[in-house]
Amino acid sequence: MKSSETQLQNSTDGGPAEVHQTVETGAEALTTSQGVTISDNQNSLTAGVRGPTLLEDFVLRDKIFHFDHERIPERVVHARGFGAHGTFECTRDLSDITRAAPFQEVGKLTETFVRFSTVAGNKGSFDLARDVRGFAVKFYTDEGNWDLVGNNIPVFFIQDAMKFPDLVHAVKDEPDRGFPQAQSAHDNFWDYISLTPESMHMVMWQMSDRTIPRSFRTMEGFGVHTFRLINAEGASTFVKFHWKPRQGLQSVLWDEAVKINGADPDHHRRDLWEALTTGDHPQWDLCLQMFDQDFADSFDFDILDPTKIIPEELIPPEPVGTLTLDRAVDNFFEFTEQVAFCTQHVIPGIDFTEDPLLQGRNFSYLDTQLKRLGSPNFSQLEVNRPRGCPMHNFQQDGQMRKGNRRGRVNYEPNGFEEGPREDPLKGYVSYAAPVEGAKVRIRAESFADHYSQARQFYISQTAVEQEHIRSALAFELGRCEQARVRRAIVGHLRNIDEDLAQGLADGLGMPELPPPATAARPTRQDLPASDALSILKNGPETFAGRVLGVLIADGFDGTLLDRLTGAVTEAGGKVKLIAPRIYGARDDRGDLCEAQFSVAGGPSVLFDAVAVLIGPEGEAALAAMPQAQTFLRDAFAHGKFIGHAMAEKLFEAAGLQGKADDGCFDLGLVDDGETVDAFVSRCARLRHWSRDGLAKAAP
Ligand code: HDE
């Protein structure tokens, strides 16, 4: 029987704590949750070697009792997410506009926690679902926690919180069958949309490649609603929050998304994890669109309507700070799962507007946290507690409470002169917005134009992006069983763009166009295109943060791989090796290069660009592998830049003989490195859009 000894040490919080060590190995001793050292963690206590388990086995009961209660309810929306720690640095002093702590001084640092998410899928769904992404940021400021709970799309489906449960019910799994999971491509969603014309602007974004981002690192974030900034004198400035990724915008193709979901359902979380743990820290600039009441009054749309943007050409977003994600969480549950974002977590200097969706959110989020985390004391958890400043109040007790105030007094005011007091000067004061009117349930007239900005979004896209929107709609509506739903959506699209509606109707095989949907307001044709709305016009100009997948086979040119790796690394990218077998391949110097993927486990959809370096020994065998053929065929069809050396046989076997175009670089031709440099610098453009194939969009 093992024995143990106990030793007294200081715990991390300074107090004495018992640390048990096993006598044999000196390792931490395994204990029950009461701290009793466990002698045997493999066998229950039984009456006789083959007899029944005894009720008194408190060790077994303690262990299984806890296990049985490990799950907490997943979020009703945004269940699947991934979080990271970060730091926000102020780059512009905004003290004349807001007294919000993070913006008081250039160079000021504020700790943050960020959680990215999909919306519709459950916690175990896949990362590349076509879906809006959540982009929620908690600032631990020295005047309290501020949560900016946004999305990667600047508008929302609905104008009023009253509609949210219906919208979410419609998009999530149908209640009788429990599917589809993480898919808006079903009747209920499109049926609801067809009856909710205010959604059409968001639908255009949703059907664009914004909803299949390449990485969390390559998407924008938006606060969506109009908020207020309040300065020390109490003056208000309207504001819209934008996060602009320094990595540039980038999305995958739908065909890639479908395949990535199979090959690596955790693609986005793995990507962020790898970036954080290899020091490639992603950054976003926080940019503000700030405006006053005069602009609000003169703007074509209501600034309280969350289905509208303010075009960047009208109010340019001004950079005021940079967010750097610099640390991965060391425990998923304690941080990513237990983080509790609430829109009503604001700090002095930040205030709400009367946007009816925002107002409804402010009611909702506390309920969710209580339901999920089970206690009003969720603010005491490490990830949720204010870190930049202390928390002092007379709240007490409740489930799982710790740190109640000591002493006799638990109320305020008190004559004992004990405990914290309110501070009218420093404390949060709501903006004194004048309010009047009868109690009504009426949507403002100024919210009635549902199509003009949807059209503006569509005409701002490149031809390739427009085609992607059309084919996304064709896919989604093609999965609807109800012809009336398909017809109704095409009817709405006629109010946005006739060519789009016609192209979609053709794609769906509709014999004739349905009539346009009834519109509360005619669509404005005069809103100009805005470049900021396109992904392709805002892509990166570097390969930094991207991955080149290099498929190698025995006898490949080792010097060439070294050169290629050097050029990619210099450009800020990474190289990952794929070989016929995970063991690796030998180069022409006889050295074994270990691979990160076998060709079966590392399809080309996982990489931003590819190279195929083959040698005489491996040439025939690789060309004969169907997975290697698919690797190259997919890369080609997806418009990827392709570097190659001795790959003729593989090109031939993949059906690409004679098809190599100027997006394909023969790296074996000259060994002065020029072609390698030209290839890597071209990879910065990410795709060879002029190549026919799936990049242009499926028919
Ligand atoms: Fe949310 N939303 N939401 N939402 N939302 C939640 O809170 C809700 C809305 C957003 O990573 C829930 O903690 C209502 C708009 C993000 O933890 C819940 C309404 C936008 C996240 C909730 C909205 C968002 C949530 C579920 C309409 C974009 C994930 C779990 C009135 C600006 C935060 C939770 C995280 C989460 C309610 C509308 C973004 C149920 C009632 C608009 C990014 O409370």
Cα 522-459-514 angle, rounded to 5 deg: 50
Position in ligand 1 atom list of the atom nearest CA 135: 43
368 touches ligand 1 (CB under 6 Å): yes
Pair of tokens at residue 31: 């204990």
360 touches ligand 1 (CB under 6 Å): yes
φ/ψ (deg, to 5) at 656? -110, 20
Task: Give the pLDDT of residue 671.
Answer: 64
615 touches ligand 1 (CB under 6 Å): no
Catalytic entry in 145, 151, 384, 495: 151
Helix (H) or strand (E) holding 86: strand 81-90
Is 151 in the active site? yes
Pair of tokens at residue 632: 């190259």
CA torsion through residues 75, 78, 83, 89, sign: negative
Which pLDDT tens digit goes with each residue over 410-459? 999 999 999 999 999 999 999 999 999 999 999 999 999 999 999 999 99
Task: Give the pLDDT of residue 21.
Answer: 81
Convert 9-51 into a string of H (helix), E (strand) and C (coil). EECCCCCEEEEEEECCCCCECCECCCCCECCCCCCCCECCCCC
Pair of tokens at residue 208: 């664009």
Pair of tokens at residue 149: 């709970």
* Cis amide linkage into residue 540, ω under 30° from 0: no
Residue type, 216: F
- Residue entry with tokens 């996304």: 472
364 touches ligand 1 (CB under 6 Å): yes
Helix (H, G, I), strand (E, B) or coil at 540: coil
Residue type, 121: G
Task: Give the pLDDT of residue 22.
Answer: 83
Which pLDDT tens digit goes with each residue over 453-486? 999 999 999 999 999 999 999 999 999 999 999 9
Task: Give the pLDDT of residue 496.
Answer: 98
User: Distance from the CA of 303 to the center of ligand 1, in angstroms?
Assistant: 20
Of all protein residues, whose CA lies closest to atom 19 belonging to ligand 1?
Answer: 361
Catalytic entry in 10, 41, 66, 78: 78
- Residue entry with tokens 């604001």: 346
In this prediction, residues 156-181 reach a mean pLDDT of 97
φ/ψ (deg, to 5) at 283? -135, 145
- Alpha carbon distance 238, 475 (integer Å): 39
User: Distance from the CA of 137 to the center of ligand 1, in angstroms?
Assistant: 12
- Residue entry with tokens 């946007």: 355
Given a contact cutoff of 8 angstroms between Cβ atoms, the answer to whether 30 and 37 are in contact is yes
Helix (H, G, I), strand (E, B) or coil at 417: coil
CB burial of residue 24 (10 Å; 0-12, 13-18, 19+): exposed
User: Distance from the CA of 149 to the center of ligand 1, in angstroms?
Assistant: 7
Task: Give the pLDDT of residue 661.
Answer: 95
Which pLDDT tens digit goes with each residue over 180-212? 999 999 999 999 999 999 999 999 999 999 999
> 549 pairs with which residues across the strands?
576, 610
341 touches ligand 1 (CB under 6 Å): yes
345 touches ligand 1 (CB under 6 Å): no
Of all protein residues, whose CA lies closest to atom 6 belonging to ligand 1?
Answer: 77
Of all protein residues, whose CA lies closest to atom 42 belonging to ligand 1?
Answer: 156
172 touches ligand 1 (CB under 6 Å): no
- Alpha carbon distance 464, 695 (integer Å): 8
Residue 670: pLDDT band (50, 70, 90) is: low
Position in ligand 1 atom list of the atom nearest CA 306: 42
Q: Which of 72, 158, 240, 365 gets mutated to test ligand 1 (max ligand atoms within 8 A of its CB)?
A: 365
pLDDT at 5 > cutoff 50: no
Taking alpha carbons only, the member of 378, 320, 295, 366 closest to residue 149 is 366
For the chain, the maximum distance between any two Cα atoms, rounded to a whole number of angstroms, is 90
pLDDT at 89 > cutoff 70: yes
- Alpha carbon distance 154, 121 (integer Å): 20
What Å distances lie between residue 265 and 81, 120, 123, 261, 516, CA to CA? 13, 15, 12, 4, 39
137 touches ligand 1 (CB under 6 Å): no
Task: Give the pLDDT of residue 572.
Answer: 97
Task: Give the pLDDT of residue 692.
Answer: 81
pLDDT at 697 > cutoff 70: no
User: Distance from the CA of 134 to the center of ligand 1, in angstroms?
Assistant: 8
Given a contact cutoff of 8 angstroms between Cβ atoms, the answer to whether 152 and 135 are in contact is yes
Given a contact cutoff of 8 angstroms between Cβ atoms, the answer to whether 641 and 683 are in contact is yes
75 touches ligand 1 (CB under 6 Å): yes
Estimate to the nearest angstrom the gap between the alpha carbon of 350 and the chain centroid: 24
pLDDT at 4 > cutoff 50: no
Helix (H) or strand (E) holding 6: strand 4-10
- What DSSP character marks residue 650? H
> 574 pairs with which residues across the strands?
547
78 touches ligand 1 (CB under 6 Å): yes
pLDDT at 2 > cutoff 50: no
Which pLDDT tens digit goes with each residue over 293-348? 999 999 999 999 999 999 999 999 999 999 999 999 999 999 999 999 999 999 99
Given a contact cutoff of 8 angstroms between Cβ atoms, the answer to whether 213 and 267 are in contact is no
Cα 13-17-20 angle, rounded to 5 deg: 130
User: Distance from the CA of 361 to the center of ligand 1, in angstroms?
Assistant: 7
Taking alpha carbons only, the member of 116, 527, 536 closest to residue 325 is 116
Which pLDDT tens digit goes with each residue over 612-628? 999 999 999 999 999 99
Cα pseudo-dihedral 638, 642, 645, 647, rounded to 10: 10
Position in ligand 1 atom list of the atom nearest CA 83: 11
Residue 3: pLDDT band (50, 70, 90) is: very low
- Alpha carbon distance 339, 113 (integer Å): 9
- Alpha carbon distance 176, 170 (integer Å): 12
User: Distance from the CA of 440 to the center of ligand 1, in angstroms?
Assistant: 26
pLDDT at 363 > cutoff 70: yes
pLDDT at 698 > cutoff 60: no
pLDDT at 1 > cutoff 50: no
Helix (H, G, I), strand (E, B) or coil at 112: strand
627 touches ligand 1 (CB under 6 Å): no
Position in ligand 1 atom list of the atom nearest CA 367: 44
- Alpha carbon distance 258, 176 (integer Å): 26
- Residue entry with tokens 């009720």: 55
Given a contact cutoff of 8 angstroms between Cβ atoms, the answer to whether 598 and 579 are in contact is yes
Of all protein residues, whose CA lies closest to atom 14 belonging to ligand 1?
Answer: 361
Radius of gyration of the chain measured on its C-alpha atoms: 29
User: Distance from the CA of 692 to the center of ligand 1, in angstroms?
Assistant: 40
356 touches ligand 1 (CB under 6 Å): no
Residue 673: pLDDT band (50, 70, 90) is: confident
Q: Which of 145, 148, 149 gets mutated to test ligand 1 (max ligand atoms within 8 A of its CB)?
A: 149
pTM of the full structure = 0.96
Task: Give the pLDDT of residue 513.
Answer: 97
Cα 655-656-657 angle, rounded to 5 deg: 100
- Sequence length of the chain is 699
Given a contact cutoff of 8 angstroms between Cβ atoms, the answer to whether 153 and 195 are in contact is no
Angle of helix 626-637 relative to helix 254-263, nearest 10 degrees, comes to 150
Residues sharing a CB contact under 8 Å with residue 328, sequence separation 6 or more, in sequence order: 84, 85, 272, 273, 276, 277
161 touches ligand 1 (CB under 6 Å): yes
Of all protein residues, whose CA lies closest to atom 27 belonging to ligand 1?
Answer: 161
Residues sharing a CB contact under 8 Å with residue 660, sequence separation 6 or more, in sequence order: 642, 644, 651, 666
Q: Which of 72, 74, 75, 77 gets mutated to test ligand 1 (max ligand atoms within 8 A of its CB)?
A: 77
Query: Domains of the chain (ranges plus CATH)?
Result: 1-153+211-447 (2.40.180.10), 542-683 (3.40.50.880)
Strand order in the sheet with 574-579: 597-598, 574-579, 547-552, 609-613, 642-645, 664-666
Residues sharing a CB contact under 8 Å with residue 419, sequence separation 6 or more, in sequence order: 392, 394, 405, 407, 409, 412
CB burial of residue 277 (10 Å; 0-12, 13-18, 19+): exposed
444 touches ligand 1 (CB under 6 Å): no
Residue 13: pLDDT band (50, 70, 90) is: very low
Which pLDDT tens digit goes with each residue over 506-518? 999 999 999 999 9
Q: Which of 148, 211, 305, 341 gets mutated to test ligand 1 (max ligand atoms within 8 A of its CB)?
A: 341
> 609 pairs with which residues across the strands?
548
Point out the least confidently predicted range of 612-621, 636-645, 686-695: 686-695
Given a contact cutoff of 8 angstroms between Cβ atoms, the answer to whether 132 and 206 are in contact is yes
224 touches ligand 1 (CB under 6 Å): yes
User: Distance from the CA of 78 to the center of ligand 1, in angstroms?
Assistant: 7
In this prediction, residues 151-168 reach a mean pLDDT of 98
Cα pseudo-dihedral 245, 240, 531, 135, rounded to 10: 40
361 touches ligand 1 (CB under 6 Å): yes
User: Distance from the CA of 69 to the center of ligand 1, in angstroms?
Assistant: 25
User: Distance from the CA of 164 to the center of ligand 1, in angstroms?
Assistant: 10
Given a contact cutoff of 8 angstroms between Cβ atoms, the answer to whether 336 and 83 are in contact is yes
Residue type, 532: A
- What DSSP character marks residue 415? T
Mean pLDDT of the chain: 95
Is 267 in the active site? no
- What DSSP character marks residue 382? T
